Amino acid sequence: MLKGWGIEVRKKIYPLLLPCTVILSMLLILPSCGYQLVREKGIFGGEISSISIGMFKNMTFDPHVSMYVTDAFTKEIVSSGLFKINQGGGDGYIEGSIRSIRIAPTSMNALGVIVEKNMTVVVDLALYRSNGNLIKRWAMTEMEVYRTDDVNAEDYNKRDAISRLSARMARKFVSILLIDY
């Protein structure tokens, strides 16, 4: 009677043995594949974890643009948590320059008065080590449309457009840093 019972049990267990072995081996092999969480802040495995961001150089005729762009990049880099910002003796620094701002009309009303303008801003960025060695350069371009139909609000709308496109450009830059390094 025991012999017959043992054969029945073997017939039920053997078909389950192979799938269980495969699942168990997968559970043991996959966690050891080499992937791990990043433990350090910064890039290059934590080699550059604190940077300094100077005021962006304004190479255009529009005043105060560098203030908006620098502010947007600083806020985005701080909020990413990737670096410590403007710490003394940092591991690197970012230099930026606003190469050009181009404004062109995009739409007019029935009287031929411009009601919207398109602003295109080109920014050059460079990341350096603290000893002055260049790591990488980037050229970024962003566009934003703003309203000009109210003459009293045109300057405000232009500044707001600069702020919005600077924030978008800064988010793209931080994303590039996260992907590349």
- Structure confidence by residue, pLDDT tens digits, 130-155: 888 888 899 999 999 999 988 888 88
Who's near 65: CB < 8 A, 6+ residues apart? 58, 98, 101, 121, 162
pLDDT at 68 over 90: yes
Query: Contact at 8 Å (CB) between 121 and 165?
Result: yes
pLDDT at 96: 93
Give 104-112's long-range contacts (Cβ < 8 A, gap of 24+).
106/145, 109/149
pLDDT at 9: 58
pLDDT at 26: 74
* CA pair distance 36, 72, nearest whole angstrom: 32
pLDDT at 63 over 50: yes
What is the DSSP secondary structure assignment for residue 48, as one 8-state letter? B
pTM of the model: 0.70
pLDDT at 6 over 60: no
pLDDT at 2: 45
Which range has the worst mean pLDDT, 10-14, 22-26, 85-89, 129-133? 10-14
Separation in Å, CA 170 to CA 77, 124, 141: 8, 12, 11
Residue pLDDT, tens place only, 78-97: 888 877 877 667 788 889 99
Residue pLDDT, tens place only, 99-137: 999 999 998 888 888 899 999 999 999 988 888 888 889
Q: In percent, how much of the chain has pLDDT > 90?
A: 38
pLDDT at 55 over 70: yes
Would you give the end-to-end CA distance of the chain in angstroms? 68
